Copies of this chain bind each other. A is one copy, B any other.
């Protein structure tokens, strides 16, 4: 679909980026991305999302990389944004998990709009306890949702989607 609507362009054009250049991510860029996460919706406006920024020279990168088979991406990122739920602010597992996804998507779109690339690392949450330990965070307080790898793109994303008709339960 051709469009001159920049928001639709971002929604249709964003792809996962797994390779990054050496160019740093600025503090202003990070702020703009985190702000997008802040403005995500949440059930009852509970705002249970918590963020931790880890730069490439942080000592926590190596132990975090050990928690996932995508450790090479954890190490390649210029910045990692770890997205958590604060368990005390949660009200519904399912709806808070959905909200964390909306929050993550907001950040990925913000990054894309700034010419940056991201990939949503989800496999790492299979090792929930190990990942929280790598970050010295208490498992009774936080649930890791996503590790977002961020940097300037060194590749073009290229993932495809099925046709819209395959998503539709009936004509509209």
Contact = CB atoms under 8 A, between A and B. Distances in A.
A20 interface: no
Contact of A120 (B41, B105, B145, B159): B41
Interface string A81-114: 0001000000010110111111111101110111
A37 interface: yes
Contacts of A38: 161-162, 164, 167
Contacts of A53: 168, 170, 172
Nearest to A119: B41
A170 to B, nearest CB: 7
Nearest to A39: B12
Contact of A34 (B108, B137, B164): B164
Interface of A: 1, 3, 5-8, 10-12, 14, 16, 27, 30-32, 34-41, 43, 45, 47, 49-53, 84, 92, 94-95, 97-106, 108-110, 112-114, 120, 122, 125, 137, 145-146, 159-162, 164, 166-170, 172
